[in-house]
Structure 1
């Protein structure tokens, strides 16, 4: 069984989860990398009332470069803002009310470190998606690895080149289908069918 190394994202996008579910692989979450700026490690894309909306977690610039030691800034109440943006975007979607209370737990606690916050959010998403695949953490940073290295994949600066099957999106009639948003877009619109969609999409890659 082959290993694959994945970065830890904030509410990861659909292509991240498709890769996570790859058959016959052990998933290793990278824990010892330096924090790269302008990536999905502290941002995610959702479908808002005016199209694609990017939510960014602010960080404290303490001089520490390790991702796992990168501190979240609470100078502004970004948790309240992000949750409000998500509610506004998805409150009329088919399954928002079904997941709302459990999803809201992501924003209840002020984690000191970005890595810990993202990990908690990922664990909640995995539960909601009913994914039974486990992961482990890297024990040190390796520039080169025998595992499939996806740490530099999933660019936040470029439009996704992945083409996935269209699914219902709340504002789709207004702006058209938007590819590869946060998996929460899939979850709130497809509900229990989300895992089937992810597995089917993997089989088409």
Structure 2
């Protein structure tokens, strides 16, 4: 069993572990943490690293909310903003045209819970990578002493220990190579070959 936090278009480091897992289990009983990959990802645009963040409804002060119960704030047009940002950044990438229609479904669908967004992004990525690996969700919070515990990869301040091979990025001639962006960066640039980088 390999334990992960469901995140929004996860960083490459998370899928580098998922592709080697025998069994993927998503921790959904933990408390939502701000400033994590749970509701954000980073892409590469003409200005460098760009943040895409899903607005969420925060609980009252001193009140904790489980990741599975975190609500999306739909009063902000975040889906339009994110999809347009991806189109502007990657429309001339080698594989954007092949993936655009499938990924568009995520941005046209209305979501109540953040967890549902993240599961849909995971399913899109697994389908694109052509990986047939099911997942389950926790029913109770898992202790910290699990052997294949990759929950730390949801923390954006955590630097992955693994070094990844470089691949061509859209604007690396201007800003150089930016490691561990959203898996989307790798998919739009490498398509089916992305699996070999993971």
**TM-score over 0.5 for the alignment?**
yes
Alignment partners' CA distance in 2, 1:192 and 1:21: 13
Partner residue, 2:119: 119
Stretch moving more, 66-75 or 142-151: 142-151
Deviations along 1:110-159, one digit per CA (max 9) or x if unpaired, are 11000011111111111111111221111211234434222223431355
Cα offset, 1:72, TM superposition: 0.5
Alignment partners' CA distance in 1, 2:28 and 2:57: 19
8 Å CA contact retained: 2:94, 2:190: yes
TM-score scaled by length of structure 1 = 0.89
Q: How does 1:48-59 map to 2 (within 5 A)?
A: 48-59=45-56
Partner residue, 2:9: 11
Alignment partners' CA distance in 2, 1:147 and 1:177: 32
Alignment partners' CA distance in 2, 1:149 and 1:160: 13
* Unaligned stretches of 5+ residues in structure 1: 199-205
**SS of residue in 2 equivalent to 1:153:** helix
8 Å CA contact retained: 1:5, 1:29: yes
Q: How does 1:89-104 map to 2 (within 5 A)?
A: 89-104=89-104
* Unaligned stretches of 5+ residues in structure 2: none
Is residue 27 of structure 1 aligned with residue 24 of structure 2? yes
Aligned partner (choices 44, 47, 57) of residue 47 of structure 1 = 44
8 Å CA contact retained: 1:45, 1:52: yes
Stretch moving more, 59-68 or 122-131: 59-68
Cα offset, 1:103, TM superposition: 1.1
Q: 1:159 to 1:173 in 2, by over 3 A?
A: farther
Alignment partners' CA distance in 2, 1:169 and 1:146: 35
Stretch moving more, 116-125 or 83-92: 116-125
